[in-house]
Structures are given as structure tokens and as C-alpha cells.
Amino acid sequence: MLQILRSSVGGWVAKIFIGLLVLSFAVWGVSSAFINGTADSVIQVGDTKVSLLDYRLTYDQRLNAMSRQLGIRLSREQARAFGVEQTVMSQLTSGAVLDENARKMGLGLSEDELAKLIGDDPAFRDASGQFSRSQLSFALQRIGMREEDYIRNRGNVSIRSQIVEGTASGVEAPEVFMEAYSVFLREKRQFDYVTIDKDSIGATPVPTDSDISAYYAENKEDYVAPEYRALNVLKLEAADIADEDAIDEKAVTDEYESRKDRFIDAEQRKLQQLVLSDPAKAKTISERLEAGELFETILSEEGKTEADVELGVFKKVDLPDVAIADAAFALELNKPSGVVTGIFGPVILRVTEITPEQTTPFEEVKDQLRKELSLKKASNELFDIHDNVEDERAAGDSLTEAAKKLGLDMQFVEMIDRTGRLPDGSVFSDLPASAKMLEEAFKIDIGVEADPISLSANGFAWFDVAKVISERQKPLDEVREEVKTAWIAKTISDKITETAKTIRDRIAAGEEIGAVAIAVLPAKADGTAIEAKESAELLRSDESDDLATEAVQAGFGVASGKAVASASGSDRFVVMVVKKVIAPESTNVDINAATQINAGISDDLLNQVINDFQQGVTISVNQQAIETALTISR
């Protein structure tokens, strides 16, 4: 039954919603602390709860699948970057919404049907292909799930699939839609066209004084100087007070000896890995290699090249599979291994390169160690200096006076706006905690004492406002050249657009594009007239040197023989006449495209059902339980 449901619902969303939470048993397992340690649920939708175990199993299932795809074991940080946590949360929430509404609708499953579903699962069959109760117990034990929890889970998912089946199964787009879609994708067009840019409108326009004055008056808001502030800034981080000269040679030598392991670069090996899904075949190949056959011969028989089986260069600790790591680092150079049972199945390994362990000598790292020791010492002194600065300010000294007494360097920022820009428009990049400091600096007045701002690595930054330069309207004389440049750019742009529309309108009135181009556009530098060009036969998604995609798409919006004007890149217009419409030879939609369309419709329908269901329930998420689920050892 479940297999039929899976095959009948093709959309990715549907597959996610009906997918069993424990379908893929994680080889790493899950701690029994999930069952015995806490009863908190991760997600609750109405009366339906998602347990920590369900969350962790789904998370591991997704993580394992992505790890297999990438060929490495992903860390939690890497998994988060790939969106694993977000995907799992969405999947489980949607499933819980379906479960809650299935409960409300009174949907059910007979015990006989549930037993049949479990008995048909290939994960619980023995070597003879029959259902094995011991195989079921073993599989559930590996993931730390009780049998009753699995049976409940399996039943819930099967009931959930009834909603999916009724909503999204067998959905197909109408044939007329498919034919129209095929025409939309495959239709080609050919255009006669002319381009209009700044070279097409004659000499560069020169504004008069009245033009500049009028443009300035119409766009005065573009010429307002923002409010600026002058700031006294005191930054205190370890690097600001570190003194390498205060660290003696013995301290550096002792540090090197105490941390010598850090300067040992472990042995590295370049590995090849031939993955073989059939253990019997893997054993046969291993025996052939042991008898003297070449590894390259085996690769050729398997239809692979050496590049196909390259795993990369690794230190032993960097290999996520312990069995692979132990075997690889016990091999002789270029000698294939026997069969190694890794977490993804049987493999045969070969080491093609070995880089021996190396120790970096003291002389090469002593300067680095001295710097690190000075920074460590400075970090220990940071809070004392912080307290000294605050004591001086509490006694009535200004920030500048306090810094001078304590021998600390101040930074003076003469003029900066609230976005961090200087009067010349450049961004001032040397302000510590820039966003936070500017936010606070533009809230207070001169003489107001601001609290210090915490920086990363136990650092601090103080500031005070030394001067306020209010926002002002820049007079025309100050920005005349800017206004002139802006007027010229706008005038050219307007002229290009106007010329393109003139050509388009004359063509629409019955004139021929080539004749209009000669009449309207100035001759080229060599005195020859502008001529209309002919494009290639283009799909609506195509582009060319002259015709940007936006222009081509505009050309598909008018009938044959009609003209259209469209922007085609920066400060360039194109006027096109549809010369030819080339209908596709076939309106049949590719089977893969049809499958994607139908799956998309199924997904849309199911998403709408989920969204509608969500309106009637309360969804709560326990972030602390999620953290517990992800941090309990597996």
C-alpha cells in the first residue's frame, strides 16, 4: 500500500510529507537517553507532538543522505550552513500538521494493514527474504527506538498518506496546457532591429545655466548634506596594549615545549576508494588483486578511471569513517587493501602518495609564539584597564583626559554620517563596532557620557561626540558640476527613449524600419547611414550581443510584423520588428518536463492543504528540546 502511494505521488513536497521518519536507519545510532532522559517534545501541533527521538532520527537521516552525496561526514556547523536544520523543522512541522488533522478527521488504519506494511518492509527481512522479528528488533535497537514507538510512527505516516493520496495523487495538467507550454518554450522568432544609444542622438547636450538651475530646483533632495558628527574614540583590545618586548625567551621556549603537538603536522595520505555495493563481488575482486592483478585493470572492468575513485589527501583524524581510516593508514604505498567495510558499504582502498609527519622547528614559530603570549597577557589586563578608564570618567575626566592619563591612544573622526560615510562619500572602515557606535552616537548630544561598547574577544570601545554638523541643503554653486553631470545623463537617457519611441511609432504607422532608421538616426562616423540588422532565430530565453534577454522577451510580446521598443542593457534601447515567427515542429512536451509540471502542481495543492490546516491549529516549537536532541551523544 505504502509503495503504491509513493509511486502515485510524484512531487518532492509530497514525498517529504509521506516519508517515514525512520525509513533510513542511521548507522551511527541514537543514545537511549532520548527515551530515558527526557520526555519533552520538539514540536507540538494541537494535540500532536513530535518527540526528540523523531527529530533526531529525521535530522540524522537528512544529514547522512547529504554526507553520502558529498562523500564526507558533515559537522553540525556544516549541516546548518546547508540548511539541514531548517529542512528538518519544515518537514516535521508539516507532517505533524497532517497528523493532527488526520486525527481530527478520524482517519485510521486497521491492525492487519499495519502489520502487513511492517512485514513488507525490506529493512526487516532476513537472508531468505522473509520478515524477521529479530531483524526488526535489531534495526530498532541500533537507533534507540522502542518497538511500540516505531509501530505508532509507522501507523501515523500511513494515515498521513491518506490525506496526501486524496489531495495530490494522479494530478496531471490538461493536454491543452501542455501543448501551450510546449509552444511557449520552443517557439522561435527572428527580428529586424536597430539599436539606439548615446552615439545615436548626435552631439552630447550642453546645459544652459537655466537648465542647471531648473534641474537643481526639481531635484534638491538629491543635494542635501547629511548630518555629520565628530567623534573621539577609544578602542581597547588586546592587540592595542600587547607588548611583545615584555615576553622573555624562556617563556617562549616553555610555551613551545608545552604545546609541541600543535607544531607536528601529522602524516597525510592520498587515497583512492573503489566502492562496491555487492560484498561477494568485493571479495572476488580483493582476491584477484591479492593474486597480482593490477588495480587499474579492475577499474577498467568497472568502467571507472583513477579520477573517478580519487578520494583526496587526508590526515587520519580527518577521515570520518574509523574503519576506512585504520585501513588506509596501515597500507603500503600503491598496494590495494582487502575488503574494508565502511559506513557506506564495502570498499577497496589504495594509497598513492604518503607525506610523512613533520615537526615545525622552534626558530620558525618563536615570533608567532611571542606574539600570542603578549596577546594573552594583554587579554588578562583588559578588564583592569577598562575599570581604570571608568574610574577616571567617574571622577569627572573626559574620555580624552582619561585616555591621556592612562597612556592610551585616542582616535579622532572629524566628520562621519550615520551610515559611516565621510563627506567625500567614502566609507570609513576603521571605526570599531561601527553600526552600534554610530547608532548610539547619533542619539546623544555633545557632553553626554555614553556607555562603553563591548567588542569581540573581550574588547571595549568608548566614544563621545565632539561636534555636531547639522543637515543642510547644499547650495547650487557647491554642487554645480554634479548637477551638470546629472542633467546630461538624464537628457541623454530621455533622448534615447524618445528616439526609440519615435522609430517604433513610425513603423507602427506603416513605414519600413530601415527607412525610418536612416531618417531618424544620424550617420555613422564614416558618413554611412545606420542600417537595420537581422537577428538569428531566437527562443524567448535567448540573448545576443545587441539584444539582451529583456529585449528578446519584449519581442515575444507582440504579433508578427509589429514593432516594439525595449531597453537592452544600460543606456541603450532597441526597436525590433517581428520578422518571422517559427512555430515548433512538435507540441509534445518532454516527459521529464511533464513530470516536473505535474509534480509541481501536486506540490502546490499539497502546500495549500498544509497552509489551510495550519490556520486552524496552534504550533509551538521547543528550541531547548531541539538543542538537547542535537547535543545528546549518539
Cβ atoms of 24 and 174 within 8 Å: the answer is: no
CATH of domain 2-171+600-631: 1.10.4030.10
Of 31-45, 200-214, 455-469, 521-535, the range with the lowest mean pLDDT is: 31-45
Quick one: pLDDT at residue 190? 96
Q: Do domains 2-171+600-631 and 227-245+376-470 have the same CATH topology?
A: no
In this predicted structure, what is the pLDDT of residue 24? 36
Distances (CA, A) of 281 to 286, 302, 350, 442, 541: 9, 11, 18, 73, 49
CATH of domain 267-356: 3.10.50.40
What integer is the mean pLDDT of 295-305?
Answer: 90
Packed helices 147-168 and 133-143: angle between N→C axes, nearest 10 degrees: 90
Cα separation, 1 vs 109, in Å, equals: 12
Question: Which segment of 3-12, 74-83, 117-126, 503-512 scores lowest on mean pLDDT?
Answer: 3-12
pLDDT in tens, 390-425: 999 999 999 999 999 999 999 999 999 999 999 998
Looking at residue 126, its pLDDT comes to 66
pLDDT digits (tens, 9 = 90+) for 309-355: 998 899 998 887 888 999 999 999 999 999 998 877 889 999 999 99
Q: Which CATH number fits domain 227-245+376-470: 3.10.50, 2.60.120, 3.30.70, 3.40.30?
A: 3.10.50
Q: How far is CA 386 from CA 91, 128, 391, 407, in A?
A: 49, 74, 9, 13
The yes-or-no verdict on residue 206 having pLDDT over 60 is yes
- The tens digit of pLDDT for each residue in 450-459 reads 999 988 656 8
Return d(Cα 139, Cα 32) in angstroms, integer: 14
Nearest C-alpha neighbor of 420 from the set 409, 430, 408: 430
What's the pTM? 0.51
Which pLDDT tens digit goes with each residue over 116-133? Answer: 878 877 777 766 667 777
* CATH hierarchy code of domain 188-207+478-582: 3.10.50
How far is it, in rounded angstroms, from Cα 195 to Cα 544? 13
- Per the structure block, which three cell numbers stand in for 609? 492543504
Q: Where exactly are the structural domains of the chain?
A: 2-171+600-631, 188-207+478-582, 227-245+376-470, 267-356
Q: What is the pLDDT of residue 3?
A: 35
In this predicted structure, what is the pLDDT of residue 23? 37
